[in-house]
Copies of this chain bind each other. A is one copy, B any other.
């Protein structure tokens, strides 16, 4: 790499999910020169059909495309799903930036720009149902590039609407499990009887802030403990306690959603920590958290309560993952990405 490569645009990378589109203008060493986002996730496009993808892409990146030389463009996330711009079918585990690049799909925009779209990853265990991810594999490629020490052996937890617990060995994703924790919480709070006793978003505070924080922290821990000691099949029953603890006034209304959150996160941790003990019986691997900072702090607190400290909490590793994907696909000249690959 030469100084010449610094600060000169070399790649446009798109993290294109269901509800948002983020674009990164990067130099040849993987540094972010500029960053933009729009609400044009694949379910919120400005127009229906393929024209919607074109319009969203041009609105976000138009002037980046009109610099002197044509920049390569890569994208990851739901943009490659069956509901996306073009479908990039899942690649099986074990998977890394190289296998993503080998099975990527091209799409051409209306103005002739070619965009390379990353596939998702399929885990198909002999002893269970198949599982899929799309977007997280890019974040993981970025995390391992930024932290090569963990590439050999690690467990990555990615809290969210559909949390992923990912096993890493030899720089590759070897298996993973999705937990619908975040979506379960949202639909139960919004659409089930459990939300009825919870205060609405405009409810005035019922008590002083520090007292309320103590109540909600205790309710979260109570949910975690109920999950940790649960037997198989217990969740459909345990959920009902979110109502009965309110009905019997053992928890104040503003603490009920925290109980529910603790119960659901606790179930995810109970299953995932059992998985970790099974996969790594002798020695726990580094445990990395990737995701929204506030949610990661909540998970770190829960993991600590379960006696499993987190090794590190990483920021947004998607841009670096997209850079790795572009490099593996040969879209970045080898001379400029050597020390970043």
Contact = CB atoms under 8 A, between A and B. Distances in A.
Contact of A181 (B231, B236, B266): B236
A56 interface: no
Contacts of A264: 236
Interface in A63-79: none
Contacts of A238: 129
Nearest to A244: B130
A235 B237 contact: no
Nearest to A129: B241
Interface in A216-255: 226-227, 230-241, 244-245, 247-248, 250
B232 A271 contact: yes
A237 B178 contact: yes
A271 B233 contact: yes
Contact of A179 (B184, B192, B240): B240
Contacts of A178: 237, 240, 244
Interface string A177-190: 11111011001101
Given A188-B187, A226-B129, A232-B234, A240 B180 contact: yes
A234 B178 CA distance: 11
B239 A184 contact: yes
A279 interface: no
A187 B180 CA distance: 13
Number of copies: 2
Q: A interface, how many residues as a size bin?
A: 35 or more
A193 interface: yes
Contacts of A29: none
A258 B230 CA distance: 26
Contact of A236 (B180, B230, B240, B241): B180
Contact of A177 (B132, B237, B268): B237
A193 B188 contact: no
Nearest to A178: B240
Contact of A183 (B131, B193, B237, B248): B193
A230 B267 CA distance: 12
Interface in A118-176: 122, 124, 128-132, 162
Contacts of A129: 226, 238, 240-241, 244-245
7 contacts: A124-B248, A132-B248, A183-B192, A187-B187, A233-B267, A233-B269, A233-B272
Interface of A: 122, 124, 128-132, 162, 177-181, 183-184, 187-188, 190-193, 226-227, 230-241, 244-245, 247-248, 250, 264, 266-272, 274
Given A122-B248, A234-B271, 17 more contacts: A128-B241, A129-B238, A129-B245, A130-B244, A131-B240, A178-B244, A179-B237, A180-B236, A184-B236, A187-B188, A191-B191, A227-B233, A230-B232, A232-B234, A233-B272, A233-B274, A236-B264
Closest 4 CB pairs of A and B: A233-B270, A129-B241, A233-B271, A233-B267
